[in-house]
Amino acid sequence: MGSMEDYPRKQTHYPLNSTRSKLKIVFLLVSSNLLTIYFFSSLNPLGIRWSENGPRIHLWDFDSLRRELNSSRTQVAELHRRLATSNSLLETLLTELGRVHGDRPSPDDLDGWQDKLSGELKLAFGPHKLPFGFTSQLGSDELFPSLGFACRGFQDELTQYMRYEIGGECPVDDVFAQRLMLKGCEPLPRRRCHPKTPANYADPSPFPASLWTIPPDTSIIWDPYTCKNYTCLVNRGKAPGSYDCKDCFDLAGREKSRWLHDDGGMDYSIDAVLRLRPPGTIRIGLDIGGGSGTFAARMRERNVTIVTSSMNFDGPFNSFIASRGLIPLHISVANRLPFFDNTLDIVHSMHVLSNWIPEVVLEFALYDIYRVLRPGGLLWLDHFFCVGSQMNSTYVPMIDRIGFTRVRWDAGRKLDRGIEKNEWYLSALLVKPRA
Ligand SMILES: *[C@@H]1O[C@H](CO)[C@@H](O)[C@H](O)[C@H]1NC(C)=O
Ligand SMILES: *[C@@H]1O[C@H](CO)[C@@H](O)[C@H](O)[C@H]1NC(C)=O
Ligand SMILES: *[C@@H]1O[C@H](CO)[C@@H](O)[C@H](O)[C@H]1NC(C)=O
Ligand SMILES: *[C@@H]1O[C@H](CO)[C@@H](O)[C@H](O)[C@H]1NC(C)=O
């Protein structure tokens, strides 16, 4: 986690004498005292019905003995649960007192954070006690929310990100949120608000027409994007400017013919790849960085289910994929793939896994693809690109050492930026060997 060093440690401020914190303490004192009274007074507020002198046990009546024991157990569990609530209240009180006294939290208490967590951020990062105590499945008596460790390095941004009305409408800050994700705070911790709904939301087209239909403009919120309608996104391919997956929304353009024709070189066709295996045995897979989902659409037409991972880089890629009736997955290439070992029949990736990714991260990604592919599963590396000198020195050895065997392998020059750049493409079909 070297990146944490790059961020200046935030000065910690404690509200030493603020009226607000004093009031808070008075409130906490009063409420925790009230709670104690509440628990142990004869008002019997917990709704726990203790029998007059404890549970009455009739030894001669096994049925009622069992009932009595069972009801005491339930009552104890209930009491335990409520005491836990008062405990956390007490903990908050002590923390608050500590602040007023100017106690600085020790680094151990901070658990890698720069500041003590509070509010929604604290709740989101848990852990939380399990209501029924220890369970062997979890090996714990607490449930830990699963969140990006790197979140700890960006506490100020995270605090801003977690500032929302619980149960209300989420702020529209997609770009900010996605950047946090890309800095390793993935998955993100915002859970308890409603995403803004588009006014006049229009239902998607029915399948299969949905696969090749541009959705209505009113199906999404446009705030995060430069374009404000689909006409703009569709035309972007022909307009000047550099955008990620620039012509991917133009379904009548280049998208229409992708993967349909095999040129015997670096352009493989889906049908040629599927023919490598008995019919129907390539059924499920993943397209990493699949743009607007056209690979999944073509596979769907061949009864293959493909999940498409995509980032929303200045375009509603995830919404667009979904509107086509395909499954979008909003995860970055740095994320461990959310699939179990030896499960997928095929993984495809075009133009994404390339030399822009740090070598170590790329190697982790390739090993992860190997992990999720089933034995005999295929990795279709589609137009991987790098500089000529890197091909044989770095990437070919890397691909080989992961353990794949080659079925098809085609390297060629990438000429769009000029031959003098000495850029190369590699398309390959790789198999995860069977034992
Ligand atoms: C024990 O009590 C719980 C809840 O009161 C009930 O659901 C359960 O069936 C009882 N078990 C037995 C063995 O009576
Ligand atoms: C789409 O948005 C562009 C600007 O992004 C605007 O010029 C154009 O009029 C809009 N078209 C429609 C049909 O709303
Ligand atoms: C896809 O599955 C449907 C229903 O099972 C079948 O009718 C159709 O022929 C299949 N399409 C292809 C291309 O295999
Ligand atoms: C890599 O090595 C192979 C075989 O030695 C050679 O044919 C190929 O031209 C080399 N590729 C590049 C990009 O240098």
We report the CATH number of the domain holding residue 324 as 3.40.50.150
Q: Whose CA is nearest to atom 5 of ligand 3?
A: 303
Q: Whose CA is nearest to atom 13 of ligand 3?
A: 302
> Based on the domain organization, do 241 and 383 belong to the same domain?
yes
> Based on the domain organization, do 122 and 216 belong to the same domain?
no
pLDDT of residue 24: 63
Residue-wise pLDDT for 312-356, tens only, equals: 999 999 999 999 999 999 999 999 999 999 999 999 999 898 899
pLDDT of residue 32: 57
> Based on the domain organization, do 242 and 360 belong to the same domain?
yes
Mean pLDDT score across all residues of the chain: 86
Q: Whose CA is nearest to atom 12 of ligand 1?
A: 70
pLDDT above 90 covers a percentage of the chain that reads 65
**What type of residue is 292?**
S
pLDDT of residue 115: 86
> Based on the domain organization, do 286 and 410 belong to the same domain?
yes
Does pTM surpass 0.85? no
Please tell me which residue, 152 or 295, carries the higher pLDDT value: 295
425 pocket-lining for ligand 4 (C-beta < 6 Å): no
Residue 112 has pLDDT above 90, yes or no: no
Residue where a domain stops, chosen among 116, 133, 150: 133
- With respect to residue 343, please indicate whether it lies within any of the assigned structural domains: yes
The verdict on whether omega for the bond into residue 375 sits within 30 degrees of 0, i.e. cis, is no
> Based on the domain organization, do 379 and 244 belong to the same domain?
yes
Report d(CA 380, CA 382) in Å as an integer.
Answer: 6
CB under 8 Å to 34, separation ≥6 — which residues?
none
Highest mean pLDDT among 23-37, 65-79, 203-217: 203-217
Q: Which ligand is nearest to the CA of 396?
A: 4
Two tokens, residue 64:
């009622």
Q: Whose CA is nearest to atom 13 of ligand 1?
A: 70
pLDDT of residue 406: 96
Q: Which ligand is nearest to the CA of 218?
A: 2
pLDDT of residue 67: 78
> Based on the domain organization, do 260 and 360 belong to the same domain?
yes
> Based on the domain organization, do 217 and 109 belong to the same domain?
no
> Based on the domain organization, do 301 and 389 belong to the same domain?
yes
Pocket of ligand 1 (CB under 6 A): 70, 74
- With respect to residue 155, please indicate whether it lies within any of the assigned structural domains: no
**What type of residue is 254?**
R
> Based on the domain organization, do 129 and 223 belong to the same domain?
no
Two tokens, residue 361:
């991260």
Two tokens, residue 155:
């506490």
Half-sphere exposure of 290 (CA within 13 A, CB side): 30
Q: Picking from 45-49, 168-172, 260-264, 332-336, which range would have the lowest pLDDT averaged per residue? A: 45-49
- With respect to residue 390, please indicate whether it lies within any of the assigned structural domains: yes
- With respect to residue 191, please indicate whether it lies within any of the assigned structural domains: no
- C-alpha 427 to ligand 4 mean position (Å): 14
Count of the separate structural domains present in the chain: 2
Q: How much is the CA Rg of the chain, to the nearest whole Å? A: 29
pLDDT of residue 68: 74
Residue where a domain stops, chosen among 133, 163, 186: 133
Nearest atom (ligand 3) to Cα of 302: 13
- With respect to residue 189, please indicate whether it lies within any of the assigned structural domains: no
- With respect to residue 282, please indicate whether it lies within any of the assigned structural domains: yes
User: Distances in Å between the alpha carbon of 35 and those of 136, 191, 218?
Assistant: 33, 30, 51
- With respect to residue 167, please indicate whether it lies within any of the assigned structural domains: no
- With respect to residue 309, please indicate whether it lies within any of the assigned structural domains: yes
Confidence bin at 252 (pLDDT 50/70/90):
very high
Domain limits at 286?
Answer: 209-431
- C-alpha 293 to ligand 2 mean position (Å): 24
pLDDT of residue 62: 65
The C-alpha angle with vertex 13 and arms to 11 and 18, in degrees rounded to 5, equals: 165
Residue where a domain stops, chosen among 133, 159, 190: 133
Q: Picking from 51-55, 225-229, 391-395, which range would have the lowest pLDDT averaged per residue? A: 51-55
- C-alpha 247 to ligand 3 mean position (Å): 30
> Based on the domain organization, do 314 and 427 belong to the same domain?
yes
